[in-house]
């Protein structure tokens, strides 16, 4: 006979509009047989909503797909539409875009490290309790976050849902004087970011190795000599191809051939798989493993000092990689401002034409892919958006099975906390809720019946 | 906060006798986004308040996604912060507007009418700000009980109806507070 007992371990008050996370674990005689993570993601709505809209509206509409990474949505969209129209933007626009993107990385990573993930590692229930004992550290996180927010606002015109981005470039290029005022703040931020790496390096990381393939955008860097900083770059705002640890790489236009998405019953997010390979992860761990040699010396030194090896497959150490990427983003932002030339004009000329275009960038939590079909007037006829959280979800579930199995003996509260910590490794959109997880543990206990039936 | 200033109306210049602060001492923060059904309530009220020149001149109006660090950054240093958001769950009083003021000693709103519709919620932001000494002098939550939070949905009927009502109420409330502050000699315009 099989008896089935379902226990609701925690029902958080989360009602975050991006979605609500729920994890359903099935245990059979102490063995975790199933881990189903239910995450709602909104891009499907936006794919439909964009149809019939002019290309000029796309940056502002897609910015609303995610409140945590609007710049990623805007710039992936711009790159896809420019690809369809055959537009190439100049080096000054590219630099300003990278600066804007660095701002988004700084604010996202600072938030994630200090306020969301650090409490897990240090044994605090949330950032408020952490702040009671580590006030200066939380203050540093808030200051870094504010630097990122203000940089996005300075370049993007607004801290949330930036309004200065358009296909081809920007509506307005900030003058040098506005950016020069930011140099000192970035100098302070660089110091704070390096301290953050040292702090995170002292965390105790559960021993775990993810078996999945890793996938990231490949940015060969701008062509055009020293001024444009030629050569491969750490993937942030640009890239024309995809590289993986599975030994395959492909141009962006083949993304949907190599990455298949399937519907699963328990989630509205599609599950992505790499053709011929299976589950994969995108995000900081993938970027570091595949593009680590492209980090700038200040970030590479920080990584080395923190004990990161050339290969790093422990997702619990992705928080450390995020700290290293924080150093990279701050250093790059500082350098871009130092050599900044306002793009003139601020945007390339656009002549709509019928066609299909592909664009991708590296959102803080992983590769964000857009594809658009447009008619000769520049009206969207089809849209496809593949966000990083959906790409990671199947691998997250597989990893969660292993993590939950290792912690099957834990109390309900402990297991919930461990699973939350594990899910935050991948920084899904829902993870910015401190307690976002609704964990169901479904225990199936098998008992042998007495043959006599007594 | 007084509600005794009756001049706050769209298009009117109110509180003629009130001293105009060099920088606003009050911030009104609308949490949310238009494309998410009743989750856009806060943003809608902010838009409605922009029709009150007397408010626009004297009060900072801000939109926010509800992320705690950004909320703290917005309200830090203000004498008073009003946060507008939507809540769901619980009863069926759609369109009903709750008003809660933070207990500055506790740094917590206590039991909220339901989860707010954004991020970790105002409660977590307030608790963190309390610990970090980054609360405004007063922190007041206005939260509407929403019905429909689907992406792409418009404000539901009861919630849409609450928008102009709350904008008018806030207009009266903040202008009354500013008039009262101006009447009290030498009070600082800004400070925690």
Residues of A in contact with B39 (CB under 8 A): 17
**Gap from A27 CA to chain B (nearest CA, Å):** 30
Q: Kindly state the average pLDDT of the residues A391-416.
A: 86
Nearest CA in chain A to B36: A17
Interface of A with B (CB under 8 A): 13-17, 42, 45, 49, 64, 67-68, 111, 115, 126-128, 131-132, 135, 138-139, 141-142, 145-146, 149, 159-161, 432-434
**Gap from B128 CA to chain A (nearest CA, Å):** 5
| pLDDT reading at B189 higher than 50 | no
Please count the other Cβ atoms lying within 10 Å of the Cβ belonging to residue B151. 21
Pair A300, A167: CB distance under 8 Å: no
Q: Which domains does chain A have, with CATH numbers?
A: 43-223+238-391 (1.10.645.10)
**Whole-number pLDDT of residue A42:** 57
C-alpha B17/C-alpha B153 separation (Å) is 43
**Whole-number pLDDT of residue A28:** 75
Predicted confidence (pLDDT) per residue in A9-64, tens digit:
332 322 222 345 677 777 777 778 777 777 655 567 888 899 999 999 999 999 88
> A69, A111, A128: which to substitute to probe chain B, counting the most B Cβ within 10 Å?
A128
Q: Would you call A17 and B132 a contact, using CB atoms and an 8 Å cutoff?
A: no
**Gap from A135 CA to chain B (nearest CA, Å):** 7
Nearest CA in chain A to B153: A45
Top-confidence residue, B132 or A68: B132
Residue A298 tokens, joined: 């200040």
A39 among annotated binding-site residues: no
Task: Tell me what percent of the residues of chain A surpass a pLDDT of 70.
Answer: 86
Q: Would you call B119 and A115 a contact, using CB atoms and an 8 Å cutoff?
A: no
**Whole-number pLDDT of residue B120:** 52
Residues of A in contact with B116 (CB under 8 A): 15
Choose the most confident range, by mean pLDDT, from A24-38, A376-390, A420-434. Answer: A376-390
Top-confidence residue, A146 or A229: A146
B6–A contact, CB cutoff 8 A:
no
| pLDDT reading at A440 higher than 80 | no
Residues of B in contact with A45 (CB under 8 A): 151-152
| pLDDT reading at B30 higher than 80 | yes
Q: Would you call B152 and A45 a contact, using CB atoms and an 8 Å cutoff?
A: yes
Nearest CA in chain B to A14: B115
Residues of A in contact with B89 (CB under 8 A): 13, 15
Buried b (16+ CB within 10 A) or exposed e, A109-142: bbbbbbbbbbbbbeebebbbbbbeebeebbbbbb
Nearest CA in chain A to B32: A17
C-alpha A64/C-alpha A162 separation (Å) is 10
Q: Kindly state the average pLDDT of the residues A70-93.
A: 97
Interchain CB contacts (distance < 8 Å): A and B: 87
Partner A, chain B 13-32, Cβ-Cβ below 8 Å: 32
**Gap from A131 CA to chain B (nearest CA, Å):** 7
| pLDDT reading at B16 higher than 60 | no
The mean predicted confidence, pLDDT, of chain A is 86
Partner A, chain B 92-151, Cβ-Cβ below 8 Å: 112, 114-121, 124, 127-128, 130-132, 149, 151
**Whole-number pLDDT of residue B73:** 92
Pair A219, A98: CB distance under 8 Å: no
Q: Would you call A131 and B65 a contact, using CB atoms and an 8 Å cutoff?
A: no
C-alpha A380/C-alpha A396 separation (Å) is 33
Pair B126, B102: CB distance under 8 Å: yes
Q: Which domains does chain B have, with CATH numbers?
A: 26-182 (3.40.50.1450)
Pair A242, A274: CB distance under 8 Å: no
Could you say which of B120, B128, B131 has the minimum Cβ distance to residue A432? B120
Q: Kindly state the average pLDDT of the residues A364-379.
A: 97
| pLDDT reading at A101 higher than 90 | yes
Q: Would you call A13 and B118 a contact, using CB atoms and an 8 Å cutoff?
A: no
Give the Å distances, CA to CA, from A141 to A113, A134, A435.
8, 11, 20
Q: How confident is the model at residue A74 (pLDDT cuts 50, 70, 90)?
A: very high
C-alpha A278/C-alpha A281 separation (Å) is 10
Pair B141, B109: CB distance under 8 Å: yes
> B131, B152, B153: which to substitute to probe chain A, counting the most A Cβ within 10 Å?
B131
Q: Would you call A42 and B151 a contact, using CB atoms and an 8 Å cutoff?
A: yes
C-alpha B34/C-alpha A49 separation (Å) is 14
Complex prediction ipTM: 0.82
Please count the other Cβ atoms lying within 10 Å of the Cβ belonging to residue B110. 9
Q: Would you call A45 and B89 a contact, using CB atoms and an 8 Å cutoff?
A: no
A419 among annotated binding-site residues: no
Predicted confidence (pLDDT) per residue in A302-340, tens digit:
999 999 999 999 999 999 999 999 999 999 999 999 999
Which DSSP letter does residue B91 get?
S
Beta pairing class for A31-38 and A21-28: antiparallel
Which DSSP letter does residue A26 get?
E
Pair A74, A315: CB distance under 8 Å: no
Q: Kindly state the average pLDDT of the residues B18-45.
A: 80
Q: Which of A200-204, B7-11, B93-97, B121-125 has the lowest mean pLDDT?
A: B7-11
Beta pairing class for A380-386 and A366-374: antiparallel
Predicted confidence (pLDDT) per residue in B114-160, tens digit:
443 334 567 888 999 999 999 999 999 998 998 888 878 899 999 99
Q: Kindly state the average pLDDT of the residues A248-277.
A: 87
Q: Kindly state the average pLDDT of the residues A374-403.
A: 92
Nearest CA in chain B to A44: B151
Q: Kindly state the average pLDDT of the residues A207-221.
A: 95
């Amino acid at each position: 006979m099989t008896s089935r007992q379902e226990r609701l371990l925690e029902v958080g008050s989360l009602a975050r509009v991006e979605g609500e996370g729920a994890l359903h674990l099935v245990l059979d005689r102490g063995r975790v047989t199933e881990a189903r993570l239910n995450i709602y993601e909104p891009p499907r709505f936006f794919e439909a909503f964009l149809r019939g809209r002019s290309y000029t509206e796309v940056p502002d509409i897609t910015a609303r797909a995610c409140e945590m990474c609007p710049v990623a949505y805007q710039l992936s969209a711009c790159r896809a539409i420019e690809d369809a129209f055959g537009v190439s933007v100049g080096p000054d626009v590219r630099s300003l875009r990278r600066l804007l993107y660095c701002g988004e990385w700084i604010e996202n990573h600072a938030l994630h490290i200090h306020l969301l993930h650090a409490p897990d590692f240090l044994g605090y229930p949330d950032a408020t309790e952490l702040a009671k004992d580590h006030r200066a550290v939380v203050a540093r996180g808030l200051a870094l976050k504010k630097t990122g927010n203000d940089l996005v606002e300075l370049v993007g015109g607004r801290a949330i849902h930036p309004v200065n981005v358009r296909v081809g470039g920007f509506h307005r290029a900030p003058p040098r004087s506005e950016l020069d005022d930011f140099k000192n703040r970035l100098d302070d931020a660089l110091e704070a970011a390096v301290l953050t790496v040292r702090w995170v390096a002292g965390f105790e990381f559960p021993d775990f190795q993810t078996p999945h393939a890793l996938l990231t955008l490949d940015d060969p860097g701008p062509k055009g000599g020293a001024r444009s900083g030629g050569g491969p770059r750490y993937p942030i705002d640009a890239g024309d191809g995809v590289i993986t640890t599975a030994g395959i790489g492909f141009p962006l236009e083949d993304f949907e051939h190599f990455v298949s998405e399937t519907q699963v019953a328990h989630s509205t997010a599609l599950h992505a798989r790499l053709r011929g390979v299976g589950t994969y992860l995108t995000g900081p761990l993938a970027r570091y493993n595949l593009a680590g040699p492209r980090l700038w010396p200040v970030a590479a030194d920080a990584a080395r000092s923190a004990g990161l090896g050339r290969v790093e497959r422990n997702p619990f150490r992705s928080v450390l990689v995020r700290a290293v990427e924080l150093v990279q983003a701050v250093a790059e932002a500082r350098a871009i401002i130092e050599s900044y030339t306002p793009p003139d004009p601020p945007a390339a000329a656009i002549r709509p034409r019928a066609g299909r275009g592909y664009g991708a960038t590296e959102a803080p939590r992983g590769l964000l892919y857009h594809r658009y079909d447009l008619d000769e007037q520049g009206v969207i006829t089809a849209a496809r958006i593949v966000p990083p959280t959906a790409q990671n979800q199947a691998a997250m579930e597989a990893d969660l099975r292993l993590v939950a199995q290792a912690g099957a003996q834990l109390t309900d509260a402990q297991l919930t906390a461990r699973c939350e910590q594990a899910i935050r490794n991948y920084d899904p959109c829902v993870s910015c809720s401190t307690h976002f997880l609704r964990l169901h543990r479904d225990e199936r206990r098998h008992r042998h019946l007495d043959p006599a039936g007594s | 906060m007084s509600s005794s200033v009756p001049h706050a109306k769209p298009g009117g210049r109110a509180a003629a006798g009130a001293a105009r602060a060099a920088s606003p001492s009050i911030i009104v923060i609308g949490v949310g986004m238009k494309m998410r059904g009743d989750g856009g309530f806060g943003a809608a009220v902010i838009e409605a308040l922009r029709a009150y020149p007397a408010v626009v001149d004297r009060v900072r109006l801000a939109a926010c996604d509800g992320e705690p660090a950004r909320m703290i950054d917005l309200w830090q240093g203000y004498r008073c912060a009003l946060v507008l958001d939507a809540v769901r769950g619980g009863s069926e009083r759609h369109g009903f507007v709750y008003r809660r003021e933070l207990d500055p000693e506790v740094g917590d709103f206590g039991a909220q009418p339901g989860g707010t519709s954004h991020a970790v919620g105002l409660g977590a932001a307030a608790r963190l700000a309390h610990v970090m000494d980054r609360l405004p002098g007063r922190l007041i939550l206005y939260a509407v009980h929403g019905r429909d939070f689907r992406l792409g949905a418009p404000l539901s009927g009861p919630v849409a109806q609450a928008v102009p009502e709350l904008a008018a109420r806030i207009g009266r409330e903040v202008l009354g507070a500013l008039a009262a502050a101006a009447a009290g000699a030498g009070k600082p315009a800004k400070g925690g």
